[in-house]
């Protein structure tokens, strides 16, 4: 069966490769994660008092978007309204449970979108579909869905060009009719080129939903290869991922993933053609924690050292050993090599020497030259039909890229 032709907006989304997620809301002030209201059974009226102390005094949209750009992220997805029902944008009379009715009195979504436009980063807007604050979500669902559509229409019409919309919450009421066609029609009317995503949650990773959706999602975990044969529409894929164990700020969550792990996860996403959406959770006053900022800059440093392979490379038929894999980009192939060691004096280098031959199979082209993307040095190779053997030297002292990329030029 044939693979459907991808629409241009979906191809453009795939070319972005890497994005940054921002989870920010009233819950950030408590420092116990974004589900603290539900998990700790905080009464709605008591929880809503957090709006009285919401100042966002350190929320600097340009600084945060600048972090994303320095990290190599091509787009940023920001929570405009999470399940708590509080909006970080001016709801223009739909309700008073928004940022304009707090001491902050600033439309943070406006600041965010403007910063993205200024820094040439695509703004994506997260919006919950389930609402713990609005009683109509439980009692009068059709009325609530109209409120939801009206909310999204504000975001579609008042903030300029939006790169995409990222919905989350349909899994809360699986048996209900969410009238998705009507919701997505609002976006197609006002933002026809926007990517539409609706999160399937951690228990239904990669599930295909409404025909208007442009990407499947993988929450946490690792994405799996997509078989697009026979699909009615070409879909992208995206995995969203936390740096620690919470989406919103967790003041006592010190269980951070290592920079090496994040780099390997980014690579594993691109191996199967999925985008990687990595989250930050600002503190209650709107500042990105220093450790999260540092990890972002670390990823950006790796991307700058290894070139454009994660953006332009696409999955191909070539198979490597273990974690190693290849991506194709026009007349070039990129080989992602894991586990190389530092070569040097045994007193200052540690671990097993892992330099040497790395084998790839399934080549259909003749290779004329291979170089490392980080320093441009030649990589020795031997090709025997569909088999390629790369002579991978280890890192020089002072270098360890975690995943090293070799670029092969085709004859």
Residues 179 and 57 in one domain: yes
For residues 92-118, give the mean pLDDT.
Answer: 98
Count of positions (residues) in the chain: 411
Q: Is the pLDDT of residue 347 over 70?
A: no
CA–CA separation, 280 and 296 (whole Å) = 9
Structure confidence by residue, pLDDT tens digits, 314-344: 999 999 999 999 999 999 999 999 999 887 6
Q: In the prediction, which pLDDT does 234 show?
A: 94
**Which residue segment(s) compose the domain that 337 sits in?**
314-410
Is residue 1, in this structure, part of any structural domain at all?
no
Residue 120: CATH number of its domain: 3.20.20.80
Residues 263 and 321 in one domain: no
Domain end, chosen from 286, 312, 338, is at 312
CA–CA separation, 240 and 217 (whole Å) = 7
Residues 269 and 373 in one domain: no
Is residue 158, in this structure, part of any structural domain at all?
yes
Show the CA angle centred on residue 49, arms to residues 47 and 52, nearest 5°.
Answer: 145
Is residue 3, in this structure, part of any structural domain at all?
no
Structure confidence by residue, pLDDT tens digits, 180-218: 999 999 999 999 999 999 997 555 555 677 889 999 998
Residues 80 and 207 in one domain: yes
Residues 15 and 130 in one domain: yes
Q: Is the pLDDT of residue 113 over 70?
A: yes
Buried b (16+ CB within 10 A) or exposed e, 210-236: eeebbbbbbbeeebeebebeeeeebbb
* pTM attached to this predicted model: 0.95
Residues 104 and 232 in one domain: yes
Residue found by looking up tokens 């994405």 in the block: 223
Q: In the prediction, which pLDDT does 220 show?
A: 78
Domain end, chosen from 251, 278, 312, is at 312
SS3 73: coil
Q: In the prediction, which pLDDT does 394 show?
A: 85
Domain end, chosen from 312, 337, 359, is at 312
pLDDT tier, 356 (very low <50, low <70, confident <90, very high otherwise): confident
Q: Pick the range with the lowest mean pLDDT from 5-14, 218-227, 272-281, 292-301.
A: 218-227
Residue 369: CATH number of its domain: 2.60.40.1180
Phi, psi of 227 (to 5 degrees): -100, 105
Closest CA to 214 of 228, 202, 203: 228
Do residues 54 and 107 lie in contact, with contact meaning Cβ atoms separated by under 8 Å?
no
Residues 171 and 33 in one domain: yes
CA–CA separation, 30 and 212 (whole Å) = 37
Is residue 232, in this structure, part of any structural domain at all?
yes
Do residues 69 and 118 lie in contact, with contact meaning Cβ atoms separated by under 8 Å?
no
Please provide the distance, in angstroms rounded to a whole number, between the alpha carbons at the two ends of the chain: 31
Residues 114 and 148 in one domain: yes
Residues 69 and 181 in one domain: yes
Number of structural domains (the chain) is 2
Buried b (16+ CB within 10 A) or exposed e, 330-355: eeebbbbbbbbebeeeeeeeeeeeee
SS3 183: helix
Report helix angle 61-70 to 290-306, nearest 10. 40
DSSP 158: S
Is residue 2, in this structure, part of any structural domain at all?
no
DSSP string, 201-230: -TTSTT----TT--EEEEESS-------TT
Residue 258 CA from chain centroid, whole number: 17
Closest CA to 113 of 163, 153, 72: 163
Residues 171 and 282 in one domain: yes
Closest CA to 82 of 68, 104, 97, 72: 97
Residues 65 and 193 in one domain: yes
Is residue 276, in this structure, part of any structural domain at all?
yes
pLDDT tier, 111 (very low <50, low <70, confident <90, very high otherwise): very high
Residues 308 and 353 in one domain: no
């Amino acid at each position: 069966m044939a693979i459907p032709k991808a629409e241009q907006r979906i191809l453009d989304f795939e070319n972005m490769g890497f994005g940054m997620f921002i989870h920010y809301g009233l819950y950030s002030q408590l420092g116990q994660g974004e589900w603290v209201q539900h998990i700790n059974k905080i009464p709605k009226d008591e929880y809503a008092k957090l709006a009285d102390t919401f100042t966002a005094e350190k929320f600097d949209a340009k600084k945060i978007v600048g972090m994303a750009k320095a990290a190599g992220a091509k787009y940023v997805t920001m929570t405009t309204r999470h399940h708590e029902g509080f909006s970080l944008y001016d709801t223009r009379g739909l309700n008073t449970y928004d940022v304009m009715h707090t001491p902050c009195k600033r439309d943070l979504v406006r600041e965010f979108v403007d910063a993205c436009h200024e820094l040439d980063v695509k703004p994506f807007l997260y919006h919950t579909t389930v609402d713990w604050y609005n009683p109509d979500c439980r009692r009068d669902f059709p009325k609530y869905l109209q409120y939801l559509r009206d909310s999204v229409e504000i975001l579609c019409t008042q903030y300029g060009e939006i790169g995409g919309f990222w919905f989350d919450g349909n899994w809360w009421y699986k048996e209900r009719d969410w009238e998705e066609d009507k919701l997505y029609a609002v976006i197609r009317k006002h933002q026809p080129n926007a990517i539409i995503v609706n999160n399937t949650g951690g228990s239904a990773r990669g599930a295909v939903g409404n025909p208007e959706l442009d990407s499947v999602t993988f929450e946490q975990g690792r994405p799996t290869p997509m078989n697009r044969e026979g699909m009615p529409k070409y879909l992208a894929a995206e995995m969203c991922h936390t740096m620690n164990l919470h989406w919103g700020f967790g003041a006592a969550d010190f269980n951070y993933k290592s920079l090496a792990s994040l780099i390997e996860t980014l690579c594993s996403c691109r191996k199967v053609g999925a985008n990687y959406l990595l989250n930050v959770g600002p503190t209650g006053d709107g500042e990105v924690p220093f450790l999260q900022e540092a990890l972002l800059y670390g990823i950006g440093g790796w991307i700058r050292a290894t070139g454009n392979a994660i953006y332009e490379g696409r999955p191909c038929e070539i198979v490597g050993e273990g974690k190693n894999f290849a991506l194709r980009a026009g007349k070039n192939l990129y080989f992602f090599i894991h586990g190389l060691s530092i070569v040097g004096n045994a007193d200052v280098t540690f671990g097993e020497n892992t330099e040497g031959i790395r084998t790839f199979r399934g080549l259909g082209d003749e290779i004329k030259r291979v170089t490392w993307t980080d320093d441009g040095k030649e990589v020795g190779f031997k090709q025997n039909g569909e088999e390629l053997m790369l002579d991978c030297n280890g890192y020089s002292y002072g270098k360890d890229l975690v995943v090293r990329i070799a670029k092969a030029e085709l004859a």
